[in-house]
């Protein structure tokens, strides 16, 4: 048991240690930045309204906000834009999540096959790079001729844009398993499937979720790009952007772009949260 002198010394040492000072909340910095941004936006909008006389190029922020939350013009006439905007968002969401799901399955399977042997990796990985580098615009006529110009073609474009991060990150994760643990599995006579399920896939989970978070953001871009390319079937946000731009509907155009950006951010953050919940307790997932 510690003596009275040792106990007193410990208490004195603990009392002399500096206490952790809680930093004040920093909520006001984003608010100030947003206020500066809004002020600059109003200034630029006033310039285009009063000097350039083209208010549709940079509309006032309150008009953009009105286009998002209100379905009437300033004179009280209904526009119907809100219903069209949210319907387009729903269609884009369906395309992006479907393409993302297909990219996840294909990417993990592709990387798993390549991780089984060095020869398979050398044979298959260049095609993943080619798929990433081929301009999507060059393939649009072929995709449309083969699969039509509706939902399926949009999903294919989304998969092509979102697939490579899943392949590359999953392959990196499968190769990141500890070498000593690989040798231990080999000494125990573990089969290739056992090593894959019990060693490589758990080790690859952080990298898989990094690729998933990246592919989730790219899937939104792919859905909007595919929608702009094909322009048939039920319109999504991509078609709505082109329609509002061609009709010089400035507030509606900016409202559509903002909604598309917010949706992309929401998808990115959602899958980032899923990754932290899945592996955050034993891996620094940032």
Give dist(CA 79, CA 71) in Å, integer.
Answer: 6
Rounded-to-integer distance, Cα 17 and Cα 46, Å: 57
**Per-residue confidence (pLDDT) for residue 101, from 0 to 100:** 93
pLDDT tens, residue by residue, 166-196: 999 998 888 887 777 777 777 777 777 777 7
pLDDT score of 98: 94
DSSP 198-263: IIIHHHHHHHHHHHHHHHHHHHHHHHHHHHHHH--SS--HHHHHHHHHHTT-HHHHHHHHHHHHHH
pLDDT value, residue 249: 85
| Residue 71 pLDDT | 65
Range in 40-54, 64-78, 257-271 the model is least confident about: 64-78
Say how far apart CA 239 and CA 133 lie, in whole Å.
25
Q: What is the CATH number of domain 92-279?
A: 1.10.3720.10
Query: How far apart are alpha carbons 235 and 218 in whole angstroms?
Result: 19
Q: Please report, for the chain, the start and end positions of each structural domain, with discontinuous segments joined by +.
A: 35-70, 92-279
Residue 141 pLDDT > 90, yes or no? no
| Per-range mean pLDDT, top range of 4-8, 101-105, 201-205 | 101-105
User: Is the Cα dihedral 67, 70, 71, 73 positive or negative?
Assistant: negative
Model confidence pLDDT, tens digit, residues 56-97:
888 888 888 888 887 666 555 566 677 788 888 999 999 999
């Amino acid at each position: 048991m510690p003596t009275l002198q040792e106990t007193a010394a410990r208490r004195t040492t603990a009392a002399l240690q500096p206490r952790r000072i809680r930093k004040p909340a920093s909520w006001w910095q984003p608010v100030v930045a947003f206020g500066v941004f809004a002020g600059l936006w109003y200034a630029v909008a006033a310039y285009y309204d009063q000097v350039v006389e083209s208010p549709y190029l940079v509309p006032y922020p309150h008009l953009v906000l009105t286009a998002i939350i209100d379905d009437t013009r300033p004179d009280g006439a209904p526009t119907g834009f809100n219903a069209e905007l949210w319907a387009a968002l729903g269609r884009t969401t369906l395309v992006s999540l479907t393409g993302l799901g297909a990219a996840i399955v294909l990417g993990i399977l592709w990387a798993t096959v390549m991780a089984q042997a060095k020869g398979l990796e050398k044979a298959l990985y260049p095609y993943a790079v080619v798929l990433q580098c081929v301009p999507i615009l060059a393939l649009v006529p072929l995709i449309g001729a083969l699969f039509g110009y509706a939902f399926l073609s949009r999903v294919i474009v989304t998969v092509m844009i979102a697939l490579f991060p899943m392949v590359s990150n999953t392959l990196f994760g499968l190769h990141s398993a500890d070498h000593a643990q690989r040798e231990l599995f080999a000494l125990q006579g573990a089969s290739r499937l056992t090593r894959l399920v019990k060693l490589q896939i758990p080790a690859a989970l952080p990298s898989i979720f990094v690729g998933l978070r990246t592919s989730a953001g790219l899937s939104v871009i792919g859905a909007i790009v595919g929608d702009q390319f094909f322009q048939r079937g039920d319109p999504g946000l991509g078609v709505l952007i082109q329609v509002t731009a061609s009709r010089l509907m400035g507030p509606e155009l900016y409202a559509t772009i903002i909604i598309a950006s917010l949706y992309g951010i929401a998808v990115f953050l959602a899958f980032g949260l899923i990754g932290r919940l899945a592996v955050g307790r034993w891996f620094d997932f940032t």
